């Protein structure tokens, strides 16, 4: 016999409202994350060395990408149900870690001059 959880119909609106809030938070945190990654890319790989002489784009872009990426990663899985939540959470962890790894490598390569 398989156990099926009983879902209270009165709680369905709460779950939907919670998912809507999670979607809004994911977008609000995801856009600054992408902006921070873009600033780091412009500062290191895509831009000219003269465009960010003092490295402020690299510093603040890295800070913005790390904080907003972690907040996005925390909010995004709650926008979905059940197994989709687990899959998106796992993919999100990998995607954010890859992006932050690239940001860290870009910062390291600029700081060491290699």
Q: What pLDDT score was predicted for residue 90? A: 86
Instruction: Report which of 62, 78, 61 is spatially closest to residue 25, judged by C-alpha positions.
Output: 78
Q: What pLDDT score was predicted for residue 1? A: 60
Mean pLDDT value across residues 55-65: 86
Q: Quote the tokens at residue 12.
A: 């369905």
Q: Compute the half-sphere exposure of residue 85: CA atoms within 13 Å on the CB side of its CA.
A: 11
Instruction: Report which of 106, 73, 107 is spatially closest to residue 92, judged by C-alpha positions.
Output: 73
What does the alpha-carbon distance between residue 86 and residue 91 come to, in Å, rounded to a whole number? 9
Q: What pLDDT score was predicted for residue 14? A: 61
Average pLDDT, the chain: 81
């Amino acid at each position: 016999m398989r156990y099926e959880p009983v879902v209270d119909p009165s709680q369905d609106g709460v779950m939907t409202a919670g998912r809507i809030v999670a979607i809004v938070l994911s977008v609000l945190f995801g856009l600054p994350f992408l902006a921070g990654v873009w600033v780091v890319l412009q500062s290191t790989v895509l831009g000219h060395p003269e465009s960010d002489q003092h490295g402020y784009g690299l510093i603040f872009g890295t800070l913005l990408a790390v904080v907003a990426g972690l907040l996005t990663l925390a909010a995004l899985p709650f926008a979905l149900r059940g197994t989709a939540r687990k899959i998106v959470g796992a993919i999100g962890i990998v995607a954010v870690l890859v992006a932050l790894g690239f940001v860290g490598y870009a910062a390291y390569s600029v700081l060491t001059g290699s």
